[in-house]
Structure 1
């Protein structure tokens, strides 16, 4: 602010009865007559702005005065910067210990290097230098301490505004970091889930492939087994023969009925006309040949493995006990002797241990299909 020189103050003089004047004895109601008023004309020097500028007169202790000033400004700047750093970093305030004056004085920076401080100290009392320092002081006030170049470029020139802008920027950066962290976590979770799904699908595909391969292998093995069995049976069929021809299967092993003494049929019946030839199913020896009660005329052919083949109800027999016969050789003829209802061959198969088994299954096991 500009300052104007005050007008001279009138001196008060007590009333004097002996004084004369237009207003009374004193002339001015108690005030003594004054010298004439002089006109006051403001000058550039009298109205020059002095904001942020203090003039320190040189004296014998001028060095100490300047050092004290620099120290005070340095402490202010340090406290301001510490407050800004505390607000930015969220750290607790930093306590400042005042060092010994004599030890700190020599380590302080030049006063003119501090923002807004150079104009506070002047080597002379006026002149062009004084005008320059006043301009600098006005351009760089002390409140701009802690304002960076980036703040100034953004139009932020106040320390408080700069602090607010930095806090807002830091909060925005933290928000962005949190959003980035969430995004990255979501992406990682999606990638992990996709990998797990792909692994599960791959596992299913591998399991399906293994199952398919196992099934194909089983089928191949089954086909190979059947092929081998067919070859074996074909080979056996060449050495085995059906007991007769031009027949019809009328009763099977295990059939139930009152016509059989045991209640169940114990063989396989080949119905055929009387006199139809009966053939040896395989090479063997005639174990018995003759009458056998309800079986009529019966021939028993024993094979090399001890299996016995019974030919029952024959009309005639062509072999004798102990005779060796070969596959397909005629050993008798179909008849209706014994307990029968018509001409047929009643064939039974007994193992070497004496068990009575199904003749149809046994013939099929030799590659024959009656």
Structure 2
């Protein structure tokens, strides 16, 4: 606690009010002031002498009944108000001291009343004002002192942050930065997941494409193998048939084919295959079967009909002579007649027809189906 100091001199001495320039009077029934700048100037300043009170005024002598001594000490309880509340108390104390000093001066020679002030140096930011220290370090230290340390952790203190506001600000900034990092991490993870999904989809598509290509290739290879197998089986069948089938003539030239059009044929189209050759050359049975017809047949000349076991009929037309009779069984390669030019012809040839179910078909295709190449 600091020692009590004498009260400062009153800034406005009693009786400083003077008559106004217009003859009026000052306060307390007096109207007007003289020069206010001079009237209110503190006593003791150069060029500002204290004026004497008018003769009509009576000196006010306060007594014990009118002046109440100030006893004890004014104590200021430090509460949550901080610096602002302490400054208010200090201002009240200074005003009280100034007022008391003026009253003491007005008593005419009586010792001034001492005002006991509390030791305000312990309050943050107030001690430098009371002591009159011109050094800025205490004020700066007081201003830098935190008003509250609520929420300050040991880690904050180690970092040099002891102000609750700064701690809260630092934590808010850190939280915002953490949230920003979390958002970046989430976006990065989302991008990575999307890239992984795209890569998986691409891999799946590639695998599916590869599987489809492999399947198609396997199917194509299978088809080729099956085609080769069928061709082989057909060749074997034709080779076997070729042993049981034969061409009707040995020396010939194909002149007219099945389906040729012309006026020489009654239907307007050729219904068989012509083998042109020499007159009297032998004609052979293409396969084993039974002779169902052998004789003259008008435009066909001498004709022999050979019926095979499957019901197919082979017609040999325009023969010069016949070598078989109706009902006779023949085998492949047996001679059934001779090539000639009887009937409606323009030259020596064999007119060969193949009929199934009574309708004529292409003899060339049929012979090839039996493994023969005319």
- TM-score w.r.t. the length of structure 2 is 0.64
Q: 1:50 aligns with which of 114, 122, 128?
A: 122
Distance 1:232 1:8, change over 3 A: closer
Larger Rg: 2
For residue 6 of structure 1, report the CA deviation from its aligned partner. 2.1
Q: 1:226 aligns with which of 218, 225, 231?
A: 231
Q: Deviations over 1:313-366 (max 9, x none)?
A: 112222222222211111112111111111111001122x31221111111121
Q: Deviations over 1:17-63 (max 9, x none)?
A: xxxxxx9xx9xx97644679xxxxxxxxx9894236xxxxxxxxxxx
1:56-95 counterparts in 2 under 5 A?
none
Residue of structure 1 equivalent to 2:349? 344
Provide the alpha-carbon RMSD of the alignment.
3.2
Q: Answer yes or no: is 1:288 the counterpart of 2:258.
A: no
In structure 2, the gaps of 5 or more residues are 16-51, 53-58, 60-104, 113-117, 125-141
Does structure 2 retain, via aligned residues, the 8 Å contact 1:10–1:31? no
Q: Answer yes or no: is 1:154 the counterpart of 2:226.
A: no
In 2, the alpha carbon distance for the partners of 1:188 and 1:153 equals 41
In 1, the alpha carbon distance for the partners of 2:14 and 2:278 equals 184
Does structure 1 retain, via aligned residues, the 8 Å contact 2:291–2:305? yes
1:5-154 counterparts in 2 under 5 A?
5-7=4-6, 32-33=108-109, 49-51=121-123, 143-154=148-159
Distance 1:204 1:7, change over 3 A: same
Residue of structure 1 equivalent to 2:367? 363
In 2, the alpha carbon distance for the partners of 1:345 and 1:310 equals 10
For residue 259 of structure 1, report the CA deviation from its aligned partner. 0.7
Secondary structure (helix, strand or coil) at the match of 1:143 reads: coil
In 1, the alpha carbon distance for the partners of 2:214 and 2:166 equals 70
Does structure 2 retain, via aligned residues, the 8 Å contact 1:13–1:31? no
Secondary structure (helix, strand or coil) at the match of 1:203 reads: helix
Distance 1:241 1:140, change over 3 A: same
Q: Deviations over 1:263-285 (max 9, x none)?
A: 01011101112122111101122
Secondary structure (helix, strand or coil) at the match of 2:358 reads: coil
Number of aligned residues: 265
In structure 1, the gaps of 5 or more residues are 15-22, 37-45, 53-136
Q: Deviations over 1:82-107 (max 9, x none)?
A: xxxxxxxxxxxxxxxxxxxxxxxxxx
Distance 1:170 1:13, change over 3 A: closer
Q: Answer yes or no: is 1:331 the counterpart of 2:307.
A: no
Residue of structure 2 equivalent to 1:181? 186
Does structure 1 retain, via aligned residues, the 8 Å contact 2:258–2:362? yes
Does structure 1 retain, via aligned residues, the 8 Å contact 2:275–2:349? yes
In 2, the alpha carbon distance for the partners of 1:179 and 1:30 equals 79
Distance 1:10 1:164, change over 3 A: closer
In 1, the alpha carbon distance for the partners of 2:260 and 2:108 equals 168
For residue 153 of structure 1, report the CA deviation from its aligned partner. 2.4
Secondary structure (helix, strand or coil) at the match of 1:232 reads: helix
Distance 1:30 1:196, change over 3 A: closer
Residue of structure 1 equivalent to 2:99? none
Secondary structure (helix, strand or coil) at the match of 1:275 reads: coil
- TM-score w.r.t. the length of structure 1 is 0.65
Residue of structure 1 equivalent to 2:34? none
Q: Deviations over 1:185-226 (max 9, x none)?
A: 111111111111211221122112111111211111111111
